[in-house]
Structure formats: C-alpha cells, structure tokens
Structure 1
Amino acid sequence: MYQLLHRSSERPWDMSSYALDSLPFADRDSDRHLILHMQENRSHLTREARLCFSVIALLFMVTSLAPAMKGQWLVPAFSMLAMAALTFALERHVKSRPASETLELADGHVRHRDSAGRIVQYPAYWMRLATEGRSQADLRLFLRSRDGAIEFGRCLSLDEKREVAPLIAAALVKAGGH
C-alpha cells in the first residue's frame, strides 16, 4: 500500500492522488515536496484464507489417523507440532513491524529511507527511473544516477509498482531529472 503526500503553500500536509499533469512540481515552487510513503500490506486473513488454513489442519488430522490406529504415535504428534509451528509463525508475522519505505523528491534531491533507517540521497537532476523484470509477474523499480542507484518499492505488490512507476517518472521530469 502507498500514500502520495505533498505540501502546498496554502495548507499543511495533504494526502491525495494526482493525475500525471497535476503533480506538485507544476510551478517549481521550492517549498513543495512530493513524498511517496510505501508500506507492506498486512491485512487480516480473509475468510477464504482462514478456510484454507482450517482445511490444511483437517488434512493433517485425517492423514495421521491411520498411523495412530496402527500404534505409530509419532505421526499424529508430528502433525500437531507442524500445525502449532504454522500457527506460531502466522502470529509472529502479524505482530512484526511491516516493512516500509519513504521516497521524497524535494529541493532538487531524491531521498530514500527504508524501515531499517538507512537514508540515501542523490541529486534529482541526474536521476532516471529504470525498471527490471525477469517475467510478467516480476517488477523491480530503480532510480539510477551517475552517483548510484536506489531500489524502491520492494514492499509493494506488482499492481502497486505499476501504478507508482509513471507517477515517479513524471515527478522526476518535473523536478529536473531525465
């Protein structure tokens, strides 16, 4: 999931979506910023996902019945341990902090901050957007310059990456990049 933020001179921080021509760099006002905040989607399990999880648990129980009838108690014990481990992993994942990134185009610079706190900053003038993908289901977004490269959007889904790419490309052109 992502949020496109900007600051106009008339009002404080405002969250909205833009058409490509109305990005906040239209008048090259130096106090306006474009900030793209990206975060991993941590939605609750859907009804279908809970049903699938229940079916897996039922299959573990059913497949361990025949060995249990023959006196092989390690199979049902392993099945219960496997379900407990899967449940524990899901609970830990839900409680962990989601990955996030912030990409800011402001004052002729591009800044990228990830969830680990690393900050990378390059001049926007030499920046260009590059995409890489090994297949239709794979897409990686890069901002490249002569000083280095920034990979961004790692925590976005494929559709979100496709939505964000033209917005960043237009913002780079209006900010002075290539």
Structure 2
Amino acid sequence: MDLEASMRKSLESTQRTFNTIRTGRANPSLLDKISVEYYGAETSLKSLATITTPDSQTIQIQPFDGGSISLIEKAIAMSDLGLTPNNDGKSIRINIPPLTEDRRKEFCKLASKYAEEGKVALRNIRRDGIDRIKKQEKDGEFSEDQSRDEQDKVQKLTDRFISELEKHLTTKEAEILKV
C-alpha cells in the first residue's frame, strides 16, 4: 500500500520543518529556508555556500563565489529568523544569542503549529485511502467486511504516524526549552 510511503514523506517533511526552528544552539539547518536572489534567480543558500558551526553559538557561512557575500548577508538579515549576520569580507558569521523565555514559548507554539499541519496532511492521506477503499467496495472489488478491515488498517497506520509525529514534537519542544 502506498499510503505508508505517503505518510512517511509527510512525517519527514514535518521533521525538516521542525529543524528550521531555532533552539538555543547553532544549527546549520536553521538556514534551510533562506533563499538568495543570485543572478536574477531565487537560489537556496545551501547551493551558494558551505555552512558550518565552529561552536555551539556560531554559524559560519563560506560562499563559493565571493561576489555573492553581500546578497547572502542581505537575505539572512531580511529573513524572519531575527539573526544578525557579520560580514568580514570572506565569510559571514552569525552569533546565535541565547533565547529568552518568551521567545522559547513562541518557538514551542510554532512547533505545535507545524505539528498540527503535519497531522492535517496525514489525515488527508487517510481520507484519500478510505475514499479509495469505499470506491473499491462500491465497484465490487471488496465485500463490506473486507472494506471495513482495510479502513481499520488505514486508521491504525494513521494513528501510528500521528503518535510518531507527537514524539518528534515532544523532542523538539524539549530542545527549545532546554537552557
């Protein structure tokens, strides 16, 4: 059944989204959503530079093309991350300040919102699967009992992925709240 693969992809997508939420530590995946206008095209930061974390409070960005350094700096400054890039002419350093209690709570709410979006995506996949099963029953491919059994399997699969998503959310919230 391709439902499990679809649900796995949805869960992985939610996990990648969680990775873009700041915790108290420097993490290169914070910059995953940033794109830079490079020669008239929106280009992901990852494809323009090497991103490293020399220590737990600093992200260093080393552009492949020295001419793009100001464009990268501008894209980071304009992003909603609230980070201030420091350009030394060759690379960009970003100091990750410790999070305030209010900011941590905001990020937990954001993580919850992303988790809810992930659950909605999983439920949509479940609905499509159940609709397909009901159509097969209507077309005579399944008996009523077989249809009910298949629908139960889809529900159990959905429950399993939603509980997995909840675990990821709990882990992320613990990371955010850890001082």
TM-score > 0.5 by shorter chain: no
Q: Scaled by the length of structure 2, what TM-score is found?
A: 0.31
Larger radius of gyration: 1
